[in-house]
Amino acid sequence: MGKLKYTLALLSCSLLAACSVVPGTYFSYNSLNDTYVANGKTHHVYIVPVTANSIAKHYSAPRDYRVGPYDILNIIVWDHPELTTPTNQEANPEQTGILVSQEGDIFFPFAGSVKVSGLTLNQIRVLLESRIRAYIRDPQISVRVAVFRSKEVQVMGEVGKAGVQPITDRPLSIMDAINNAGGANTVTANTSQIYVLRYTKGNIYAFWVNAQMPDQVVAAEHFYLRNNDVVYVPPAGVSAWNRVITQILPTLSGASSTKSVTGV
């Protein structure tokens, strides 16, 4: 309900703002594709407006959550409490859970070292059951993520609380992320130029949401974020694309370097 209220509020403010926006503050995205340098590397930036068509072309439906390094797992082997991760209310999952290593492995009794990074929870369950079947008859295992730490996005700019947000087993849309950050500031934010920057195969895509266009707000509800995405809500009056991209590119470039090391 809160998410719906925020979306409606943003739509209302955007429609009012659309009548008073200063001429020239809109970007012609075809002219914005350009090359920029950050952290010693050259990047080509492609501007893509977020519409129903661009979502279908550039983003597939979210898949089942795949475990990654630094996630903390809770694993239950039914009828075998000695192998089960503590789940009582007093247990701290960060202390009692099973940490996925930077290399993507976990250690589990009877199974030894198991590579779990990139696998779904169901795939991990099947793998563990096959590994311990030689020691436990007809094992029944359940696996869940106790703490999500392998995938995250950053929300920057004119929002209530900028910062890092985890991506969990519940898909995170652009509007979800902005809402989780306290919403765009309806007084100081330039809601016609909200961006999601994404590093993909050596290129950077800047997905542009003009929240003064109701159809784009609706489309943004179905545009789901990926690991290391940066959501940026610029201040009102900022229409210079060079200023926007130079503020964000070092952060995005650094995140892409981390991604290449961890493989997530």
**CB proximity list for 138: less than 8 A, separation 6 or greater:** none
CA distance 112 to 135: 12
Nearest-CA neighbor of 237 among 53, 44, 17? Answer: 17
pLDDT of residue 13: 43
Q: Where are the domains of the chain?
A: 2-62+151-262, 72-147
Nearest-CA neighbor of 167 among 51, 50, 264, 58? Answer: 264
**CB proximity list for 97: less than 8 A, separation 6 or greater:** 72, 73, 74, 85, 146, 147
pLDDT of residue 226: 92
pLDDT of residue 55: 78
- Convert the pLDDT of each residue in 68-106 to its tens digit: 999 999 999 999 999 888 766 666 777 889 999 999 999
Edge-first strand order for the sheet with 72-77 is: 98-99, 72-77, 141-147
Q: Which CATH architecture has domain 2-62+151-262?
A: Roll (3.10)
Are 197 and 120 in contact by the 8 Å Cβ rule? The answer is no
CA distance 4 to 217: 12
Higher pLDDT, 130 or 261: 130
pLDDT of residue 19: 34
Are 144 and 164 in contact by the 8 Å Cβ rule? The answer is no
Under DSSP, is residue 186 helix (H, G, I), strand (E, B) or coil? coil
- Convert the pLDDT of each residue in 179-222 to its tens digit: 999 999 989 999 998 999 998 877 888 899 999 899 999 999 88
Flag whether pLDDT at 28 surpasses 50: no
CATH fold for domain 72-147: wza like fold (3.30.1950)
Under DSSP, is residue 140 helix (H, G, I), strand (E, B) or coil? coil
pLDDT of residue 85: 81
Higher pLDDT, 81 or 10: 81
At residue 22 the predicted structure's pLDDT band, cuts being 50, 70 and 90, is very low
